[in-house]
Amino acid sequence: MTQLPAAGAEAAALLETLGCPLAPGGRPSPIDGSAMPLVPDAADVDAAIARAAAAFAEWRSVPAPVRGALVRRFGDALREQREPLGRLVAIETGKPLSEGVGEVQEMIDICEFATGLSRQLYGLTIASERPEHHMREMWHPLGPVAIISAFNFPVAVWAWNAAIALVCGDSVIWKPSEKTPVTAHAVHALFDRVAAECGAPAGLSQLVPGGRDTGAVLAADPRIPLVSATGSVPMGRAVAQAVAARLGRSLLELGGNAATIVAPSADLDLAVRAIAFGAAGTTGQRCTTMRRLIVHESVCDALLARLKRAYASLPIGDPRAPGMLVGPLIDGDAVSAMATALERARAEGGTVTGGEHLYGNYVRPALAEMPGQSDLVREETFAPILYVLRYSDFAEAIALQRDVPQGLSSSILTNDLREAEAFLSATGSDCGIANVNMGTSGAEIGGAFGGEKETGGGRESGSDAWKAYMRRQTQNVNFGRSLPLAQGVEFEV
């Protein structure tokens, strides 16, 4: 096998290629522990917010299709740099290379979506009860939008928010995860170049690397009407409380605990492929990762035998190497959290297959056959652990699927039309995403992405998620010479 360069050194070389060099001294790469380039924390967050507010004052008056043209140009620039940026994502997060490149493709896709959206920010015309009156609804730019992103998708989730916010007329302020600031630095440098070429206002997008304190400043600042935060439930609670205290808006994308129901009629060939990616893809570090497998007792043994063979054959190692499907966890804390969860599973009577710590941040994905639902199964451990539960009737399966605090993604594998439709009904899955005959991961940008309960209730990306980044105004126009009042109220002077 060809010897690969140290991950930190390769990251530095990629930054040189991308025109935004940085010195070493940052966090260790999850791949091999070598030092990543150092992205310094923002020196003055208050000044960055002020620059974003000044840029918004100008940008909101630019016609939306012109704003869309900037986002289109940015998407073109991302397309030109897709491979080096994707490789940088893989190095910094430990994702397999195809997933790193796929994340950059997701940014390109949302830029295309947002460009089209810039000509479709539709309002409504509403019938007025008053003669010679028009009533309509208009959407206006909201203001500077703070985006707090997580390590597992270090750039795509920022793009979901930023591309839409920019065409809506907002400026953006980005606090990347302190675990993955390098790719954010590269992407933001690219955006700054495109914005300057397009003549956009200076400060239209601000990058403010930092830790919890930086996020707290953004959440508390009244100049920021919307804070979009992706991360853990405790982090989301803190952000929501700070933003609500000043009566601002928050858009939250928090924890997940996705379940897949496998019915007696399921295609087991399809099931093995869907489950393997859903549970082990990105080394279990997606908010949509399949963490619970609820299998009918009649097919459970056969499916588990096939899953164990599939898990044993998963290539695990340096994600830059060809054919690797499972890379490292993000850091040693994640490795420890996985080990602790598996110890608890065994203590609760579970049978664990896999889950070994191999070396460094590398682990083998685990299957944990559990005797029933428990506090452990209701919790989200951000690692490749799939808890397997058995069910005997469909109502029991739905009850198990719903019996967790989180509500992001879910799926069912079945060839029974009645079961599929019942799963999608109001009494079926209680998640923001519900899939049939596929896994729980891999959402397309065209649909609104988000979940219910402790997932936070936010919606990002497609559909009408753009409305979160604008303010709604009901407008009434009297084009007559009298002044009739609504509800027949009379007031003559």
> What confidence tens digit (pLDDT) does each residue in 91-119 have?
999 999 999 999 999 999 999 999 999 99
Task: Note the pLDDT of residue 3.
Answer: 85
Confidence of residue 492 (pLDDT cuts 50, 70, 90): confident
- What's the average model confidence in pLDDT over 447-463? 97
Task: Enumerate the domain spans of the chain.
Answer: 7-254+456-473, 258-436
pLDDT band at 337 (very low <50, low <70, confident <90, very high): very high
User: Mean of the pLDDT values across residues 242-250?
Assistant: 98
Q: Check pLDDT > 90 for residue 176.
A: yes
Instruction: Using pLDDT thresholds of 50, 70 and 90, give the confidence band for residue 244.
Output: very high
pLDDT value at 386 more than 70: yes
Tokens of 253: 């994308």
The CA–CA distances, whole Å, from 322 to 133, 200, 315 equal 66, 41, 10
Instruction: Using pLDDT thresholds of 50, 70 and 90, give the confidence band for residue 2.
Output: low
Signed CA dihedral, 15, 16, 20, 23: sign only: positive
Q: Give me the pLDDT at residue 330, please.
A: 98
What pairing do the DSSP bridges indicate for beta strands 351-354 and 357-359? unpaired
The average pLDDT across 301-321 equals 97
Percent of the chain having pLDDT more than 70? 100
pLDDT digits (tens, 9 = 90+) for 248-297: 999 999 999 999 999 999 999 999 999 999 999 999 999 999 999 999 99
Active site residue 99: no
Structure-token pair, residue 294:
């609820």
CATH superfamily of 7-254+456-473: Aldehyde Dehydrogenase; Chain A, domain 1 (3.40.605.10)
Report residue 237 CA to chain centroid gap.
17
The three state secondary structure string of the chain is: CCCCCCHHHHHHHHHHHHCCCCCEEEEECCCCCCEEECCCCCCCHHHHHHHHHHHHHHHCCCCHHHHHHHHHHHHHHHHHCHHHHHHHHHHHHCCCHHHHHHHHHHHHHHHHHHHHHCCCCCCEEECCCCCCEEEEEEEEECCCEEEECCCCCCCHHHHHHHHHHHHCCCCEEEECCCCCHHHHHHHHHHHHHHHHHCCCCCCCEEECCCCHHHHHHHHHCCCCCEEEEECCHHHHHHHHHHHHHCCCEEEEECCCCEEEEECCCCCHHHHHHHHHHHHHHHHHCCCCCEEEEEEECCCHHHHHHHHHHHHHCCCECCCCCCCCCECCCCCHHHHHHHHHHHHHHHHCCCEEEECCEEECCEECCEEEECCCCCHHHHCCCCCCEEEEEEECCHHHHHHHHHCCCEECEEEEECCCHHHHHHHHCCCCCCCCEEEECCCCCCCCCCCEECCEECCCCCCEECCCHHHHHEEEEEEEEECCCCCCCHHHCCCCC
- Residue 279 one-letter amino acid: A
Paired tokens of 279 = 């549970």
The CA dihedral of 163, 145, 406, 180, to the nearest 10 degrees, is: 70
258-436 and 7-254+456-473 share a CATH fold: no
Q: What is the mean pLDDT of residues 69-85?
A: 98
Calculate the average pLDDT of the chain.
Answer: 97
Per-residue model confidence as pLDDT tens digits over 217-229: 999 999 999 999 9
Contacts of 151 (CB under 8 A, 6+ apart): 93, 177, 179, 180, 285, 330
Beta-carbon contacts of 189 under 8 Å, excluding residues fewer than 6 positions away, are 18, 19, 20
Q: What is the mean pLDDT of residues 471-488?
A: 96
Residue 1 has pLDDT above 80, yes or no: no
Of 2-6, 197-201, 297-301, 409-413, the one with minimum mean pLDDT is 2-6
Which position among 10, 92, 103, 253 bears the catalytic label? Answer: 253
What is d(CA 307, CA 425) in angstroms, rounded to the nearest whole number? 29
Nearest to 415 by CA among 260, 259, 261, 267: 267
Q: Which fold has domain 258-436?
A: Aldehyde Dehydrogenase; Chain A, domain 2 (3.40.309)
Q: Would you call 291 exposed, middle or buried from its count of C-beta atoms within 10 A (0-12, 13-18, 19+)?
A: buried
